[in-house]
Amino acid sequence: MERSRDQGERFDDAKGLTVALRELGVVTPPPSLVPGVLVGTGLADGYWPEETAIGRVFVAYGAAGVVAVQHEEAASAFDAWFRGRFGRRAVAAPPRATLARSVRARLAGERAAPPPFDLRAVRPFQRAVLEAAATIPRGEVRPYAWIAREIGRPGAVRAVGTALAHNPVPLLMPCHRVVRADGRLGEYVFGTGAKRALLTAEGVDIAGIEQRGRTGQPLSGSDTTRIFCYPTCRHARRTAPEHLVRFASAPVARAAGYRPCLVCRPVEAG
């Protein structure tokens, strides 16, 4: 009661109320407002940080979806990288909840629909390469020649390597699951160490793959089904050790009376 009388007095005279009303106009807008407008208008892309198996990455997005993923510790370093690569600005701005959710699910390796991408800057060949890589299940790897064959360009193995090395959305489009035919991991946008860490986190037997590469037996078969596979294919991993046979190449396996797996579809050469 005491206070309400004070307030009544305060707002009683016309001037008191006018002053109080005008003071209500002095507000500080949230810092996310300007970045939100810039992203909403398309004048800038937005970005936010995520913690992953290989450390902090920044995820950049526009109105249509994710534009880039880059492995950086500091936002300032990401700003510079983004401007250099895309020739436009990115501003720190939290994404819509749905986009954040689907990106996080994908980064965590959950079986979830991929987030929407904005790959306007990506040429059709590279896009086809990335989409083929995205079909490789978590915990499995395929050689570069497999991607080339999958996209109908079996001779373009080297170009596939280049396209993967310039993947703008690593982790979300899993280019780390493509390795060399000789069992070595090969290059990676974020470095070979990161590639090893990611595949290890996904449960890939890297030592086994490297060893098979060194001994020249990159393919696995089962003497009960007479089917041959890439060794990380879920069918090959189910094969009991006593039934496991190894092959140097698809022609060798065929000559032994084996047929290629319909799931992992090993390439004829390489």
- Annotated catalytic sites, by residue? 175
Beta bridge partners of 50: 57
Q: Is residue 261 within the footprint of Zn ion (CB under 5 A)?
A: yes
Q: Is residue 263 within the footprint of Zn ion (CB under 5 A)?
A: yes
- Shorter beta-carbon distance to Zn ion: residue 148 or 261: 261
Nearest to 230 by CA among 156, 139, 154: 139
- Cα separation, 232 vs 202, in Å, equals 11
Q: Is residue 262 within the footprint of other proteins (CB under 8 A)?
A: no
Choose among other proteins, Zn ion, none what residue 263 binds, the Cβ cut-off being 5 to 8 Å by kind.
Zn ion
Collapse the DSSP code of 181 into the 3-class scheme (helix H, G, I; strand E, B; otherwise coil) and give the result: coil
- Cα separation, 202 vs 190, in Å, equals 17
Sign of dihedral through CA atoms 173, 233, 218, 184? Answer: positive
- Shorter beta-carbon distance to Zn ion: residue 30 or 257: 257
Q: Is residue 40 within the footprint of other proteins (CB under 8 A)?
A: yes
**Among positions 2, 29, 124, 240, the unique one binding other proteins when judged by CB under 8 A:** 29
- Shorter beta-carbon distance to other proteins: residue 26 or 113: 26
Question: Minimum CB separation from other proteins for residue 115, in Å?
Answer: 21
Of 8-27, binders to other proteins (CB under 8 A) are: 8, 10-12, 17-27
Note whether 71 and 57 are within 8 A (CB): yes
Q: Is residue 165 within the footprint of other proteins (CB under 8 A)?
A: no
Alpha helices in 96-152 (DSSP H): 97-107, 124-133, 144-150
Question: Minimum CB separation from other proteins for residue 63, in Å?
Answer: 10
Binding mask 42-81 for other proteins (x = CB under 8 A): -x--------------------------------------
User: CA–CA distance from 222 to each of 154, 205, 241, 255 (Å)?
Assistant: 27, 18, 9, 15
Note whether 227 and 260 are within 8 A (CB): yes
Interacting residues with Zn ion (CB under 5 A): 229, 233, 235, 261, 263-264
